[in-house]
Amino acid sequence: MATEVRALGVVELTAISLGGMIGGGIFSILGLAAQEAGNAAPVGIAIGAVLAFFAAYPYVQLARCFQEEGATYSFFKRAFPTARRLAAAIGWLVVFGYICTLALYAYTFASYAASILPWAQGAAGHLGLACVIVASLTALNLISVRWTGKLEDLFVYAKLVALVMVGAVLLLQGEPARAWPLDRSTTWLDLVDVAALTFVAFEGFQLAIHAFEEADDPVRNVPRAIYLSVAIAGSIYVLIAVGAIMTAPLDVIVRDKEFALAAAASATLGSGGHALVLVGALLATGSAITGTLFGASRLMAVIADDGYLPSLLRRRIHGHTPSAALVVMAVAALAIVATGGLELIVEFGSLTFILVSLVIAVANLKVCGEARSSRALSLTCVLALSAAAVMLLRFQATHDPTRLITTSVAMVTLLGLALAFASWRARADA
């Protein structure tokens, strides 16, 4: 039992965060970014990385201050102790956001794997591949924290090597004239739209906080892991985006946006380029699934401990591993995979985590004295995330009002269910 506790150092913690970040991210957002900003898409993604640092700062400060593994939910509860039901509702929303991103990673894994498996081209084969990878990595999470961390190290750092290789090859083989000069029709508004739209690709840095109880020297290593993961992910995203735009015509990247990176590599490098991207995609999505399952299931267990999720989700094995929460997350994500909808999943995920990050930024501003946070920087974080939320809502309203309605209804429904469940538990416990 003791070997499972405090088993994660900064390397493993960074791997867990990167595992959640570099997954479906660059493989799903590249085409959408190019669609909105043309060859200036890498600039929009770089702005998104800056936005991610503004989101990370409040998490780091509150993690040092409160030293709890619940992250968003626990931090809000500590900063606003009289708003426990609202904290529960926010926790539900975060969990659903993680489930959506888990579905995105599984969907992306299946899409790339199916490209070399003719029998898996149909919907049933696609769902089957998603089931295999999610079930396998859920089982690993159930078996051992230590082995999960070690496999995550292997997944993450192997995929980083693969993705850097992909970016380098694309840059060397590409045509600089495609990337520069930037398209004059692209506006700053387009770039900010890309930053907000692709924010889901940076979601995951907070997963290291969910491993606080299992981390070695967490007050020091968790913040280091968060900042490292944002910096590494942002650098790789920009490298890959520039390389892809230099390599393939924009219309190809936009047309094949569900597998834009493979399309870019295949356009110039042929089957060898496709194979290199395929390896990177499978490693990236595999590690993202592992990291998201690891961190988000622990958040579900923390909320269940407080009575705001069904008590079944409190069950743990090996001391800390939330077995029921892992299984529920996996099943829910696969249900979303079965329904499809790449753009809606990306937009919903980005909006969810922008709003959640905004809530945490407000919490950090409220307790900036206790958390030893810079008031000026804390206020800047609040303003930046508020602007991003407004921009994304404007984007949905102007591009497809139906998706805005769907997103709004889903969020209101989730919040309503969470508040209703919290009220029911409060009455039952009275």
Question: Which residue type occupies 14?
Answer: T
pLDDT reported for residue 2: 43
Contact yes or no for 241/328 (Cβ under 8 A): no
pLDDT beneath 70: ranges in the chain: 1-7, 20, 23-24, 69-70, 144-153, 155-156, 256-259, 318-319, 340-342, 429-430
Question: Which residue type occupies 373?
Answer: S
DSSP 132-178: HHHHHHHHHHHH-HHHHHHHHHHHHHHHHHHHHHHHHHHHHHS-HHH
pLDDT reported for residue 309: 84
How does pLDDT run across 65-86, given as a tens digit for each residue? Answer: 887 766 777 788 888 888 877 8
Contact yes or no for 222/11 (Cβ under 8 A): no
Q: From CA 40, how far away is CA 28, in angstroms rounded?
A: 17
Domain locations in the chain? 2-429
pLDDT reported for residue 257: 65
Whose CA is closest to 101, among 357, 331, 349, 392?
A: 349
pLDDT reported for residue 150: 65
pLDDT reported for residue 1: 40
**Distance (Å) of CA 169 to CA 50, 138, 349:** 26, 34, 31
Domain at 2-429, CATH class:
mainly alpha
3-state helix, strand, coil in the chain (%, to 5): 85, 0, 15
